A and B are shown apart, each in its own frame.
Chain A
Amino acid sequence: MSRRPLAAPARQTGPPRRRARAVLPPLALVGALLGAWELYAESGSTSSYVLPSPHAVAAALWDNAGLLAANLAPTATEVGLGIALALALGFALAVLIHFSRVLRRAVYPLAIGSQAVPIAVIAPLLVFWWGFGVFPKLVVIVLICFFPVLVTTVDGLEAVDRDQLKLLRTLDASRWQAFRFAELPAALPAAISGARIALTVAVIGAYIAESQTVTVGTHAGLGHEINADLTALQTPRAYAAAVVLFAFAIACFYALSLAERRLAPWAAQPREVHA
């Protein structure tokens, strides 16, 4: 009884070819950018302290692999925990705002305003309260990252089909049941989208957190490493650390997409319209 339009062109794309098609464009783009960078850096119009060439960065990456890996660990912890907490906080606030007009009026402006506060202003307080460990850094990341989750989740909750809620009412669903069966699952993909946006900010948030709050210990994170290298004119190593952050952000983004496919498979699969 299915009357779907004939989809999928007959072109055969086996797994290897499909993989090649997915990987080649970004590789070509990266290659072109690296080539241009190499030419510019080697042309002599800048100094290697200002802009190291890609091969110098690659060498620094190779030589300092152990150091960079050791510094990635704390940063990755901060970002991972930070995103998880931001997702939880943003989602919880969104649900509260959705249910209560009063809370919406009270919380929303504060949440928006919180995004304008420079971290440097509150960093001394965070360190004063929570010391030199990972916790103040988590607070910074959560502060930066909960907001996209909050906004997308509030919108997701608002966007629930009114007719759906009417139908649930005629099935005698309570307010809680309407939330559990219709609103909560509808808002979940929205929250994850928010987390995906937040993730890209979380990595730079980790850098800000490490720069703004003091840490004791040797491997204090990539943000720390970058600042120390820049001060010591170890520019290639700072670039190498930035490359690690760059790759880490991309990996996190795709990890979250995978998580979405597990948590909200109905949103990940392409929607087909049936006659």
Chain B
Amino acid sequence: MPTQLQSRPRSSQSGSADVGIALQGVGRTYRDRRGAGVRALDAISLRVAPAEVLAVVGPSGCGKSTLLELICGLQRPDQGTVACAPAVLMPQRDLLLPWLSALDNAALALRISGLSRERARARAAALFAEMGLDGFEHSRPSELSGGMRQRVAFLRTLLSGKRVLCLDEPFGALDAITRAEMQEWLAGALAREPRTVALVTHDVEEAIVLADRVAVLSPRPGRVLEVLEVEAPRPRVRTDAALIALRERALGALQGAPTPMVGAR
């Protein structure tokens, strides 16, 4: 059983050619307290081309977050191989540091990469207006609304300069209106500056609006049930008939029904 462990390169230059993300026969088993194995992921093979957006949908507990941690190198697979350009994780909770201002939170990756506080701030500040955050540079996270916090977290993620973004339900904690705004914003940001994206979500509509392809995972242990191509042109309108049809197909796959069947149960 070949297990090629992926080490996280510290510099984004160290990867040779940009492979995007390549998962080959990846499996991951957790041990619970009594030592029994809990299989989280099983035989996952997925490829994400550079600058492609792959959405991963699945029922809760299907190992979606584990998948992202494998891609980011936070965990190692028991089976199979993970090859990936340097990846950054954006968790569902914004995880902004409460003791830093919005600006310093956004500039965190730059500070960690060794930039001085002033230069890191200057680079982050240049993007604040574009994010609709101007005027809030010196606010603490607790003074920002949920949508603004999420945008600061996105800025932090983007400023890490990594080619691969792993987004773990990035809008899960937002209300419906803010979520729609943020999805639109993300689609625009990726159009301007393409990145390879693995987007985990439980929201099938979000997956279809944002992604080039949608992978549907089974309940635990997570396996790839189906990969749907989303060919609709961007910018996408959620009410587009083709998108709605795709959504029904994805929902059908999620519910274990034969794929063409619509709205089972």
Interface residues of A (CB under 8 A from B): 1-4, 161, 163-164, 166-173, 177, 181-182, 185-186, 264, 266-267, 269, 271-272, 274-275
Contact = CB atoms under 8 A, between A and B. Distances in A.
Given A171-B160, A172-B112, 11 more contacts: A1-B145, A2-B145, A3-B145, A3-B175, A3-B178, A167-B95, A170-B89, A172-B113, A186-B99, A271-B142, A275-B174
A113 B112 CA distance: 40
B97 A166 contact: no
Contact of A172 (B10, B99, B148, B166): B10
Contact of B99 (A166, A264, A271): A264
Contacts of B149: 274
B183 to A, nearest CB: 15
B98 interface: yes
Contact of B91 (A166, A267, A271): A166
Given A2-B145, A169-B74, A266 B98 contact: yes
B8 interface: yes
A166 B87 CA distance: 12
B112 A168 contact: yes
Contacts of B174: 275
A177 B113 CA distance: 10
B-side interface size class? 35 or more
B112 A166 contact: no
A181 B108 contact: yes
Nearest to A189: B99
Nearest to B173: A275
A271 to B, nearest CB: 6
A171 B108 CA distance: 8
Contacts of B89: 166-167, 170
A269 B87 CA distance: 35
A264 to B, nearest CB: 7
Nearest to B69: A166
A94 B144 CA distance: 33
B95 A274 contact: no
B202 interface: no
B146 A275 contact: yes
Contacts of A172: 8, 10, 109, 112-113
A163 B93 contact: yes
19 contacts: A3-B146, A3-B178, A161-B95, A163-B95, A164-B97, A166-B69, A168-B112, A170-B72, A170-B88, A171-B88, A171-B108, A171-B112, A172-B8, A172-B113, A181-B112, A267-B98, A275-B146, A275-B174, A275-B175
A272 B148 CA distance: 14
B112 A274 contact: no
Contacts of A272: 142
Contact of B147 (A1, A164, A177, A271): A1
